[in-house]
């Protein structure tokens, strides 16, 4: 029953909240329209979203978001220092390969986005066969350390959230 | 009270302007495309985020109406910046990447090349 | 004080836009130009918000949001065109 009306409860909730924020004032009409859209849009587009990602442990999600926000600020300061005070040629930029333990495509997407937003690293490509991410480092000090940091700081938490 | 709010908003605005400048400076200065990608995707996101938060605080304190549009724009930018960076990196590697990605491109069969990019 | 801070930010963003335009003009590779266009969009969003603070109006929010959306879609479409030779199939 809920599967036919609300194929994706989290998506419906997101649409509901975003619609209210977009209309930017609170009244009964806005709530009704938001509810209608939150039910109609996911059920009409359900054909394109066959799988339903399992998301668990909201506390870990909050912890993850806080860590990522902190890292974004720190990485910005780091990258700003590198950009302003170092010659471009003297930066040791290379590609590193990060093997993945995550299975679901949503989790891999979140990890790739997180890597792009955090200290001096940028996801360039995803290898389907080897199940690895190709990550470009702006200034690499130690490859094993960088991979280990990505794995234990982000991937272990994502494993707990998505599995 | 208003003085503290003024100082906070001013500091956030200055930080935002500084980081946007750093992002574009990195884009103009760094020597190759993969390194250039680092500047704008990081610095600009935080820069625009700071300016949007400053604008939200300004209209909240100055005029008393809380507006969530800036927050939505900030969230949208934070969600889309990694995606566009990834897409640009992929386009660059596919066109003239290093040896690694060329080997990848050679290994793909024509049928795989024709398959839609997900 | 907010006045001076917003003027500083506006000047910084303007210089940043000029640097981005420089990269857009000389960019040796076509992805550099796409990246420059993407950055230019983000700079434009920042300038729009600063104009909103400057003239104390909330009219520009929708413009900023539309800029963000159109900029993202344009970047993805450009890259897809480079990689595959067409945008829609």
From CA B6, how far away is CA C65, in angstroms rounded?
26
Instruction: Considering only the beta carbons, identify the residue of C43, C49, C76 that sits closest to B55.
Output: C49
ipTM of the complex in this document? 0.87
Q: Confirm or reject contact between B38 and chain A (CB < 8 A).
A: yes
Q: Which of residues 4-33 of C touch B (CB under 8 A)?
A: 4-6, 8-13, 15-17, 19-20, 22-23, 29-32
Summary mean pLDDT of chain A: 81
CATH: 3.30.720, 3.30.70, 2.60.40, 1.10.12. Which one for A58-162? 3.30.70
pLDDT, residue A3, reads 61
Residue A135 in contact with residue A97, Cβ under 8 Å? yes
Q: Bridge partners of A97?
A: A134
pLDDT at B19 over 80: yes
Residue B17 in contact with residue B51, Cβ under 8 Å? yes
- Chain B residues close to A24, C-beta within 8 Å: 67-69
Minimal Cα–Cα distance from A92 to chain B, Å? 10
Q: Bridge partners of A96?
A: A135
H-type alpha helices, chain B: 2-29, 33-39, 45-62, 69-96, 99-107, 110-114
Of A14-28, C40-54, C61-75, least confident by mean pLDDT is A14-28
- Mean pLDDT, to the nearest integer, of B6-26? 90
Minimal Cα–Cα distance from B118 to chain C, Å? 11
pLDDT tens sequence across A4-31: 667 777 788 888 888 888 887 788 888 8
The share of chain A scoring above pLDDT 90, in percent, equals 1
pLDDT, residue C14, reads 93
Please tell me the total count of domains within chain C.
1
Domain boundaries, chain A: 2-48, 58-162
- Chain A residues close to B29, C-beta within 8 Å: 83, 88
Domain contains C28: yes
From CA A152, how far away is CA A157, in angstroms rounded?
8
């Amino acid at each position: 029953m809920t599967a036919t009306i609300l194929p994706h409860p989290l998506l419906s909730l997101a649409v509901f909240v975003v619609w209210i924020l977009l209309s930017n004032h609170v009244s009964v009409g806005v709530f009704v329209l938001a509810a209608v859209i939150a039910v109609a849009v996911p059920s009409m587009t359900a054909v394109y979203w066959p799988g339903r990602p399992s998301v668990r442990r909201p506390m870990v999600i909050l912890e993850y978001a806080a860590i990522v926000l902190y890292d974004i600020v720190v990485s910005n300061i780091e990258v700003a220092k590198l950009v302003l005070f170092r010659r471009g040629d003297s930066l040791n930029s290379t590609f590193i390969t990060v093997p993945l333990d995550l299975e679901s495509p949503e989790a891999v997407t979140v990890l790739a986005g997180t890597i792009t937003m955090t200290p001096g690293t940028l996801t360039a490509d995803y290898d389907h066969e080897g199940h690895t991410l190709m990550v470009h480092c702006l200034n690499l000090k130690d490859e094993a350390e960088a991979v280990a940091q990505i794995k234990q700081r982000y991937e272990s938490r994502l494993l707990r959230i998505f599995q | 009270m208003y003085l503290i709010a003024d100082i906070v908003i001013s500091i956030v605005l200055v930080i935002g302007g500084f980081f946007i400048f750093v992002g574009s400076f990195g884009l103009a200065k760094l020597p190759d495309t993969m390194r250039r990608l680092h500047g704008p995707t990081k610095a600009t996101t935080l820069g625009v985020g700071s300016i949007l938060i400053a604008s939200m605080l300004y209209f909240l304190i100055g005029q008393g109406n809380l507006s969530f549009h800036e927050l939505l724009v900030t969230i949208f930018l934070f969600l889309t910046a990694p995606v566009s960076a990834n897409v640009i990196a992929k386009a660059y590697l596919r066109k003239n990447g290093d040896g690694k990605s060329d080997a990848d491109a050679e290994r793909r069969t024509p049928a795989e090349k024709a398959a839609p990019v997900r | 004080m907010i006045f001076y801070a917003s003027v500083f930010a506006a000047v910084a963003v303007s210089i940043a836009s000029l640097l981005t335009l420089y990269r857009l003009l000389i960019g040796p590779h076509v992805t550099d130009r796409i990246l420059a266009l993407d950055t230019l969009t983000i700079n434009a969003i920042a300038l729009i918000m600063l104009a909103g603070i400057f003239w104390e109006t909330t009219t520009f929010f929708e413009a900023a949001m539309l800029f963000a959306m159109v900029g993202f879609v344009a970047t993805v479409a450009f890259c897809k065109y480079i990689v595959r030779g067409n945008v829609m199939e």
